[in-house]
Structure 1
């Protein structure tokens, strides 16, 4: 055994020098290749004795342990086998002009510091930083030519990492949630990249002191709550991103001296804990939507607040009591951006959206219905002692109903239906109507919750009084039952009478319903009353208020009608070319005029535009579309089916399209649009599309938002055309449309990849239109150089510096200072709307709230003909009836027969929402 061990030792003694010799040979090969690649040759690098070269250090065995070549204006490529230098601990190549692929450092287990910043590397190989178990510092910043690459997750194998710098390095994607792997990390700088998404939660538990994540191209998003747990933090640069929500309580961040939060979408008051930080020296908060009192910092702090925040006062001091209360209410809702942008000033009764006041300036109603708010119901509502109505229905609120709401002395209505509330409904007074339906886990009268419905009060429960079962004596119960039965009987009789009256009124109204088709001999009846039939919800569902404008509530009239081809030929002079208003992929639009002067627009669709859609599906869509009325949507008044041909009848918009006024105004002999006209048109469009999005359950959506589909009326107010019901399915059906519309630059990037139609695609297209309104340029100008031909790409580069916007503005506007400020706000909105990631774009309600304050009353600059459009207060059948009467024609409209249901249009075929995809109204 002893002799065997001696033989092993002898063999190892002979092999070790050989292995060392081979390793040294590997180092020599790498260093020789490195020398040949560098230009010019570094000073002091000559001969084969690389351990004697300037900046090269070797260990006692002749292995390279350090290379320092910083700031020598060197170019060339780094050998790919650099990681064969297995004994290297320091690599310093920064501030040169090295290009090509960044060298892989994988498995250099002794490497502690690597400085590769400020070069011209073009790509990073996969796994380049794997196995660096001793790594403490990695600096890659300033490599502007790198192809997009993700955050290197393999760094989790470097538990000793202290510093990671990768600013200006073209990082893309999200920041992975891996910071629990870096117990020693103190410095993280990732500025000026294209990182997206929210901050990873593990970042909040790290030991980071210096955090730079500012100026991401699209913008990091989400809330900043985790900053409160980063107690070691001393410097935070998060400016120029898309962070939302409030600034967190930073009272535990006692080392913080520099806080840069400007150019985000932060809301809520500035916490007193931030103003009290003893080491704070710099803070920037401008270009947010912060609220509450004007923050006051010590004189030792350099403060930048800007002018875009929504502080209640321009001088220090507390807000009005009602304003303070409503800010607490907003806080429970996580300070939504819509409230931060629209609740300005120190008077809640001065045109604050969602708020109604009496003549004494006391808040009497708060209406947050259908605003997609999250959070909880604030107990602070109880401070609004004059409150009579509180509508919180159809949101995503959670938590309990505060007991304090029962103390409101004048409360009459509390609607909390269709949320995610839990717990017991407090006992309100008998005069309070409490609507609780649609909260699956709410408890009333001591009931237990059920996932299947609203136990205790039913799925449509309304609690009218505060009494509960078991409180009355048996005699009282008997009397109560008798009274209840009597009341129920009376109500039943009234309901029956009401239904009979309603049927009578409908029969009288339907007498204009049938139109004779002289060519086919077939009768075509009007759209079946109640054509929505639950498809888009009840009438109350569709009559949702748009933003803050009470006038936006749509009007639904029962004049939906099928019109004979003979009538349409007469009113268009047999579809004369002289009456052509426009042409598109769908066919031709003609002007039509009735005998009394009423004008209509008739869209005559080619067979290829309608495709193979079934007749019942086409009729079902028309049944819905003719019900929709909104002041900023072009009304669909009727339709005609003539064999395989299909025609749609719209209200006539006499001033043509936005595109004509924006790009071809000189050809039409009219002055260019002023800025006030442009921003007013933008607001009109935003309100129209916002209303369509409010009908999202019906898949109502605009399908092709661009200036040629924005029409102008007599008063130059805009209406949106080309909307309908869309199936969201990536079935390839939209591939041709994608290619065509994408050519014009209005479609969002994700539509080209999946073909899915979403509301965020509308928001993107709206952002493009805003850019066109600002610049007077089309979305795609092939005559311009490539770097300027695509409006969105060029304009988003302009937005990096506000000063550049002035040079991009349409020359005909010649803005003064006030107008320039307005343009800059719209430009900022355009940038947000065209964000690459859909979730980073705002909704149309946000656009309405931004544009609303910018719009003032104006008068048209062109003299236009009055009363040449259709009167929406008169249904099309009535207008046609007057004309037919003038012509002594009685055949067009007759009484509806008892068999009208045979030819009536089905309001919603079975499976309609799952199978229908429309391109008919294009």
Structure 2
């Protein structure tokens, strides 16, 4: 090495050390012979400001020394990992999955005023996001999949050239600022998987193409703007208190149980009508006094008949003695040779209990009352259920489902079976089937808590699932163009559904028989849970399915009209998996052999880049499950194992990716 070059490099290294030392009025250099005091020159004369910014960032964000940044020449920093320069200025800084641990130091990267792309995703950076106002030319910002905390960084609102903003999968809190509307160039916005609360701002940027605020704690109606209306339910999912037209969730309060769709309010009481017709306007004090008087009168009117009834019944009991034929709560009451039974009827849009008399009918002890399954505690009664307010959730193959809110605020789902669509008419057969199904318990099954039957009326009571169905998650509202779910969501949902089906097949001789996206609900922790399982045996096989429901049925079921089997469940799972991956209902699936499926799925997921291998593995599972011959389809336990192996391989790939080996 030439001596002048060696001296120059030593001098540059000396200057570099000066820039990293604490500021002082003077700097002292000591040798064995003498000491010299040298005043520190300005930083911008020693190192480029971009190099100082990068080194300052590394000093606090790379606590494990993953980044081997060394500076021998003035512009060496342009060759560092993740750095891209144009004419000596940093325009891209991308460190994805490099195992960074520390904080995003203020006044570090924010000095890169020519930066266009900043991506620090898939690391372990914590603390607040600093003031980014200095990045005036920034177009793309990816800080997702870290552990950033604090509130939404308001400084990004000053970045008027910003097109991409991804802060998802962090621990940010607070509200999403309404001022996001000023970012008129924004076309990609993800804020999902944080802890934001408040409402969604009325975003109306025409350029916005990707938007996701799911998995937060946002509340209230979603603004109906032309921009937000183009996104599906998945963009707003897992915010239990969001409502509005875009996600098909009514923001109005619930109505009385089994209210008709007309929504007409009940008329005022005759007493109030009389007061209104005479033009009486009650002052607050008079209104209060009137209410007290009215309450007293009503109390008397209720109390007197109750007392009289009590004495009459007491007299009857004394006459009848200890006869067991007087059990009103659990058995039919025999009066003059007739059986009086309790049966629910829809009267005036409310589910009421009516007394029917049928000559000579002999009922079982459990008829006319709620029967709780699998030792469930009887925490409510039929009367409480009948008084509940309700909301129509949907109409299915064999009945209608309601959300019922009882007086004690307990919420359940009630499926009311349609007598014209059920094949089992015997009360004993229905009870036996429900006892077999009611004992099934699994995290991916919506548990059946109780059932009720009396004459032709049958109810099945489930736990209420707060986050809607997989159908709504996949397809969104009618006014939106739904987009396929992210790869990780598809894998998680597929595993949950496979877990539930495998349990049904292994724990009993039963089958689901009616698997479809509308029968997969999202639980409180957003797990996929199967509902309407094992009820296909109750259905009349002559009933006509809608095109989408028919698309899940295996060929052998279509041809012969035979009952569902475990292998037909596997077929339906394969169709559901394709629906999950492509966002297309079964009626829009082309007839494809397994070898042609990957190309079609990729065409439907045109936004996914670099996921071909992962998609190919799931598409292969879907193809095997939906083979025409039932003998060639695997058992559901084998399907579950395939999906779990895919999950394990993905985790291994992600760990390898996080090592940052060979990144350029």
Fold equivalence (TM over 0.5): no
- State the TM-score bracket (shorter-chain normalisation): 0.3 to 0.5
What's the TM-score once normalised by structure 1's chain length? 0.29
Q: Which has the higher helix share?
A: 2
What's the TM-score once normalised by structure 2's chain length? 0.40
Report which structure shows greater RCO (CA 8 Å, sep ≥6): 2
